[in-house]
Structures are given as structure tokens and as C-alpha cells.
Amino acid sequence: MNTLISETVSTPAEVFAEAMSSLVSGVAAVTARTASGDPCGLLVSSICSYSAAPPSVLVAVDRSARSYDALLRAPEFGVHLLGADQQELARVFASRSDDKFGGRRWDWDGAVPRLTGSLAYLRCATSRIVEHGDHAVLIGEVASCRMAPGEPLVYFRRALDWRLDVG
């Protein structure tokens, strides 16, 4: 693999990760209900708009995530696009905390844990799952969505504190 940054990284996987850190993305808390009826969720940057007809999103979930089984089994999942004021929530959902929902405002939207306060919330029905490598891609058909004003939380160069000036 050709690279201009090989002085600081060595393996192809490290070069790949370093190169992809140049991609600017938003982040989302993706939530679902576990088989035992509890809410679960994780932070993802692998979220994108997939198709307009039908309106669908795509998200990639790591096999090693504890939410993996629940997300692959649940008929629905929730996508919360995070705002710049939601860094704490982002860090907790990126952790392996057992209590990601404790002390937060959230409710059940049918079978989907819906967190209060995101820039956008989409309730998605899982329509396809593609397992590849160490991740699975979930394609979710958007059943409903809500938006709120605000600036996005931006992930770039492995940092979650970048700001987009959209004013």
C-alpha cells in the first residue's frame, strides 16, 4: 500500500486506519432493544444516507461490540445524529459502560430506545444485513424522523472536538 505517512505507522491495517482518519464524518448513537428487553447502543461514525427511495440509512457494526447481537436480531433500530453539545453522550456510547442510558432522558419509540436531544432521530426498520470481515452492514428503512436545530458533532483525525461553523 502506498503511503506518505509510513514513517509513523507500519502495518497495512495501521496505514488504512490512519488514512481513514482524514475522512470527516458526523457521529450517531445507534440504539436497539436487547432480547431481554433492555436498551442498548453504541457510537458509530459509519453512518450514511444510503438510498432516497426508499429512504434508507447504512451503518456498520463491529462484531466485537456488545450491541452487535441485539442490533442484528432487532427488527428496528434508532439512529441519533449527535450535536456539538453531546460529547459526553458520545463518549459514553463509545465506551463499554453497562449503564449508557442511566440518568438520560429517553423513552421507547415502539421497540426503539429514543434518546432526547439529538440533531436528528431516525427510527429504522432493518431491511438487509451484510456480514463482511469484522463488521456487519445494516441497511435500515426509515420509518420516521425528527430534526432539531443545532451544529453537528464532528469526528476528524481521531478527535471528536472539531466544529463546523454553520452560522
Ligand X SMILES: Cc1cc2nc3c(=O)[nH]c(=O)nc-3n(C[C@H](O)[C@H](O)[C@H](O)COP(=O)(O)O)c2cc1C
Minimum distance from residue 97 beta carbon to ligand X (Å): 7
* One character per residue 75-114, x = contact with ligand X (rule: CB under 6 A): -------------------xxx------------------
Among residue numbers 125 through 154, which ones bind ligand X (CB under 6 A)? Answer: none
60 interacts with ligand X by CB under 6 A: yes
User: Looking at beta carbons only, is 123 or 153 nearer to ligand X?
Assistant: 153
User: Looking at beta carbons only, is 7 or 114 nearer to ligand X?
Assistant: 114
Is there a contact between 120 and 145 (Cβ–Cβ < 8 Å)? yes
Binding segment for ligand X among 6-14, 43-51, 119-127, 138-146 (CB under 6 A)?
43-51
Three cell numbers at 140?
435500515
Binding segment for ligand X among 56-64, 79-87, 125-133, 144-152 (CB under 6 A)?
56-64
d(CA 2, CA 34): 43
User: Looking at beta carbons only, is 27 or 112 nearer to ligand X?
Assistant: 27
Minimum distance from residue 40 beta carbon to ligand X (Å): 6
Comparing CA positions, the residue from 86, 61, 104 lying closest to residue 154 is 86
- The rounded Cα 132 to chain-centroid distance in angstroms is 18
Minimum distance from residue 146 beta carbon to ligand X (Å): 22
Minimum distance from residue 43 beta carbon to ligand X (Å): 4
Three cell numbers at 43?
457510537
Ordered alpha helix ranges (H), the chain: 12-20, 68-73, 87-93
Three cell numbers at 22?
482524514
The maximal CA–CA distance of the chain, rounded, in angstroms, is 51
* Radius of gyration of the chain from its Cα atoms, rounded to whole angstroms: 16
Helix (H, G, I), strand (E, B) or coil at 89: helix
Residues that bind ligand X (CB under 6 A): 27, 42-46, 60-62, 65-67, 94-96, 155, 160
